[in-house]
Chains A and B, each alone.
Chain A
Amino acid sequence: MNDIGEFTLMVALVTSIYGTVAYVMAARGNRIDLYLSADKVPLITWGCVMISSIALWKAFFTNDFSLQYVYAYSNIELDYFYKFSSFWGGQKGSLLFWTLILTSYMIVVHFQNRSKNLIVVPYAMAVMLAITVFFLLLLNFSTNPFERIPLPPEDGRGLNPLLQNYWMVIHPPTLYLGYVGFTVPFAFAMAALISKNLDDAWIRLTRKWTVVSWFFLCMGNLFGASWAYVELGWGGYWAWDPVENAAFMPLIIATAYLHSVMIQEKKDMMKVWNMSLVLLTFVMTIFGTFITRSGLIQSVHTFDEATLGYYFLGLLFFIIVVCTALIISRLPLLKSKNELDSFLSREAGFLFNNLLLLGIAFATFWGTIFPIISEAVRGVKITVGPPFYNQVNVPIALALLALIGIGPIIAWRRATWSNLKKNFLKPMMFALVGAAVLFPIVPLSNRSEIYTYIAFVLCIFVLSSMLIEFYKGTMARYASSETVLGALGSLIWNNKRRYGGYTVHIGVVMIYAGIAGSSSYGIHTEKRLKIGETIEIRDYMLRYEKLAAIQATSVKTRIVAQLAVEKNGKRIWTARPEKEFYKGQNQPVSEVDVRSTLASDLYVILADFSEDESATIKVYHNPMVKWLWTGGWVIALGTMVSAWPDRLEQRRRLERLKLQKIVFSPSQE
């Protein structure tokens, strides 16, 4: 099977090279025979990559340690669950996984657009195939997952214990689905540039791809944070590590694109800007891959055998040069009728939102590459960690939060005084009341707490503005509907994009609130305890009951501490934090135990223990962490509503276009 896997990788490479060339020639020479021939390539390539992936999975499940990759990332004792996820645990497999997702997306695009959009689609397919060629070249000639060991060992080295967590099965695929998903809008943007077909067709064709990729990237980031929270045992979820930044930057730029593209759809403006944003988003996904696979920037996420930096740097350079050249050469065609009626308009709000989002993305990028710049200029390697990002990004993020509240309720074109009063008075009042109520309650002794206070007040402002929008819409329909819920349902169903977007904003506000609350008001304590002794934190008292050693497998031993958690003298929970020892690993892994409520998390760690059964217990009280994860699910709901097929929206858009053409064309001419 390994030979078949290796062979199909080579076949995939050859066919995808042929497909790239054939699609381009078919589009340029208007040759239908070539087009029909090239049209078989996506399916063949996907089939080959799929066979190759199945071969690698089979090697993991059958403990085939003759493959160097399986030997390095698995062992006999490894649970099947993790054998499945070991596939993407190392560099070689993760590249194959990337290629599998890319070719799968390509198949979907292929079936979605078969015999449609024949000017743009062949070029888009060629771009996607060209990117596939790059990955297949690496897999065939640089990091072959089917590399053999001449004398196969009896057992493998095993998967890194930190990766033996259920999030390992969920987080990387989600993130990859997001990362790779942006290849589709990128390919269509490139195709539009190459074919000079620069109306908004490519935007309409890829809107759902952008939304879905954005969603996966967003959830990938949140799942990663969740994984760090439960696995790394330091009580936090985001450390501004370069690779975390690399996943964060495309998300932020894609968010800017998702907003500014609405201006192009509504007013046919900002074509160059939108084109640049979608290309930049893709460039950032490759930049993230470059960071993990180059070893140039120190990161906890870097693969052990990070040797592909120069290839990805070359790809980055090539994409940037080609994209810039294409945009410059098509500038006359991208010229749009840029005009605004007022500064006080939703369009202007979106532009400022773009400015702030790109400000955050730039600050993050700058911080990520500054160690390299410092080394080049001064010869001194420095570290840029969380204090930098928190100080630089938090003020910008707060201004952005204010705009999240302002943007959706300010009028398109020109906001009049009565419009402002009508839409802003109530949210402002809610915010002011919230500010007054919170002022005596929350501590304001340092910068972090003051930021948090501002964040809470802004959250109230945004949340109330969103909820008022839902309320107004529901009440307007309530007259013709039997129930309030029915009115709400029909409001959302008939305006999916708008109210889906508002729901996403509510989720974002919850995430803001969760980050603000947990980063400022968290406390922790640590104590060496003997059996029967207690440790206290806030209203909780934890009584140390026992310590047990469990031989889980022949390579894993678990040391579990048991603590009774009492509140107001009543036992409410039993905490079982543990340390896991893996054969051949220097450091044990902490498995924390968390009691999570919307108000706060009680986060218990077994920091240390000794033979006399005494143990060092570390307890964190982290307020509002659950708001983050709940916000993620609210975002998921909003995205689902927003991306749901909407015939009404299409009809409305067509009618609007028709009206605009009839009414405006003569006067504009």
Chain B
Amino acid sequence: MVIRFKKFISVLFVALFVSLVSSSLVNAGAILSDLENQLMCKCDDKCGKVLINCTCSTADKNRKKFTKMLESGLTVDQIVQQQIEKYGETVLSAPTKNGFNLTAWVIPFGALMIGGVGLRRLLNGWVGKNKPDIELQSKEGEGTPESDSKNSSEISSTKYSRRLQDELDRLET
């Protein structure tokens, strides 16, 4: 039952991940908001804001200019390219997804995956720690009737300790 539940949870997470990745491919369309989201405001005050968030007069002028450019038939990509040629890459509100800039996008997820794998291995070690104790106790005590009775009392003490711990934990849950 537990294995089935684990499988169900895994499938759920995979489905969630696939839906998120596939959804990222959906294109919102070449609209002014998209363009404003992709570009930084280049005013004299160096306000450091994304164009869509900026309310200065330079931003307003640029908005009007871009609206006209879009109406004239230019695409968002073409306008963005024009802006890069004029101001350099710094006009973009996010790093491009190629060359060295790709590391900006990859490294956070890479770090998270490495952290996940590390945590999984750590947990494997921690979860495994509890079981051998009992096995070891039962193996060490094999042989004499004395050790058998001592061993069985230790095992039952461990068993009752665990049961008590379980009860305490359940009480708090």
A interface, CB within 8 angstroms of B: 232-234, 236, 239, 241, 298-300, 338-344, 346, 348, 351-352, 355-356, 358-359, 362-363, 366-367, 370, 374, 377-378, 380-388, 391-392, 395-396, 398-399, 409, 411-414, 417, 420, 445-448, 450-451, 454, 586-587, 590, 605, 607-608, 656, 659, 663-664, 666-667
Contact = CB atoms under 8 A, between A and B. Distances in A.
A370 B48 CA distance: 15
A600 to B, nearest CB: 18
Contacts of A386: 37, 50, 53, 93-94
B40 A359 contact: no
A412 B105 CA distance: 36
B169 A340 contact: no
A392 B95 contact: no
B2 A344 contact: yes
Contacts of B56: 587
Contact of A382 (B50, B92, B116): B92
Contact of A384 (B17, B104, B165): B104
A340 B126 contact: yes
Given A366-B107, A374-B95, A387-B93, A298 B115 contact: no
Nearest to B40: A383
B99 to A, nearest CB: 8
Nearest to B125: A338
Interface in B129-162: 129-130, 154, 157-158, 161
Nearest to B158: A667
A490 B10 CA distance: 39
Contact of A355 (B40, B115, B161): B115
A343 B116 CA distance: 13
Given A234-B53, A339-B127, A398-B20, 20 more contacts: A300-B48, A340-B126, A362-B112, A367-B104, A370-B104, A382-B95, A384-B94, A388-B93, A391-B24, A391-B94, A392-B108, A411-B173, A412-B169, A446-B26, A447-B24, A450-B19, A450-B23, A450-B26, A451-B23, A587-B57
Nearest to B24: A447
Nearest to B4: A417
A396 B100 CA distance: 23
Contact of B95 (A344, A346, A362, A388): A388
Contacts of A351: 119, 123
A340 B123 CA distance: 7
B164 A663 contact: yes
B71 interface: no
A358 B118 CA distance: 14
A396 B95 CA distance: 19
Contacts of B109: 392
Given A233-B55, A387-B93, A374 B169 contact: no
A653 to B, nearest CB: 11
B40 A413 contact: no
Contacts of A346: 173
Contacts of A385: 40, 50, 93-94
Contact of B100 (A341, A377, A381): A377
B101 A374 contact: yes
B172 A412 contact: yes
A282 to B, nearest CB: 21
Interface in B1-39: 1-2, 5-6, 16-17, 19-20, 23-24, 26-28, 37-38
Given A417-B2, A663-B164, A412 B108 contact: no
A607 B108 contact: no
A15 B26 CA distance: 63
A521 B115 CA distance: 34
A342 B23 CA distance: 34
Given A348-B123, A358-B115, A384-B104, A417 B1 contact: yes
Nearest to A450: B23
Contacts of A377: 100
B170 A411 contact: yes
A356 B77 CA distance: 34
Interface string B40-51: 100001111110
A450 B49 CA distance: 26
A359 B112 contact: yes
Nearest to A592: B55
A528 B56 CA distance: 17
B79 interface: no
Contact of A590 (B40, B55, B101, B111): B55
A358 to B, nearest CB: 7
Contacts of B119: 351-352, 355
B112 to A, nearest CB: 4
A401 to B, nearest CB: 11
A388 B24 contact: no
Contact of B5 (A370, A417, A446): A417
B130 A339 contact: yes
Nearest to B93: A385
Given A299-B48, A666-B157, A388 B104 contact: yes
A359 B115 contact: yes
A380 B123 contact: no
B49 A300 contact: yes
Contacts of B166: 413-414
B168 A667 contact: no
Contacts of A411: 169-170, 173
22 contacts: A234-B52, A236-B53, A239-B53, A338-B125, A341-B127, A343-B123, A363-B108, A363-B112, A370-B104, A377-B100, A380-B90, A382-B92, A384-B95, A386-B50, A388-B104, A412-B172, A450-B23, A454-B19, A586-B45, A608-B60, A659-B164, A664-B165
A392 B40 contact: no
Contacts of B49: 234, 239, 300
A374 B50 CA distance: 19
B54 interface: yes
Interface string B83-97: 000001111111100
Nearest to B166: A413
Contacts of B168: 656, 659
A1 B91 CA distance: 49
Contacts of B101: 374, 382
A413 B163 CA distance: 12
B60 A607 contact: yes
Contacts of A232: 53, 55
Given A362-B108, A385-B93, A659-B168, A298 B55 contact: no
A215 to B, nearest CB: 24
Contacts of B111: 359, 362, 366
Q: Could you say which of A344, A446, A667 has the most chain B C-beta atoms within 10 Å of its C-beta?
A: A667
B94 A383 contact: yes
A381 B157 CA distance: 66
Contacts of B2: 344, 417
A374 B100 contact: yes
Contacts of B112: 355-356, 359, 362-363, 396
Contacts of B57: 587
A395 B27 CA distance: 18
B45 A587 contact: yes
Nearest to A359: B112
Contacts of A343: 123, 127
Contacts of A341: 127, 130
B37 A387 contact: yes
A391 B95 CA distance: 12
Nearest to B33: A524
B92 A234 contact: no
A655 B150 CA distance: 29
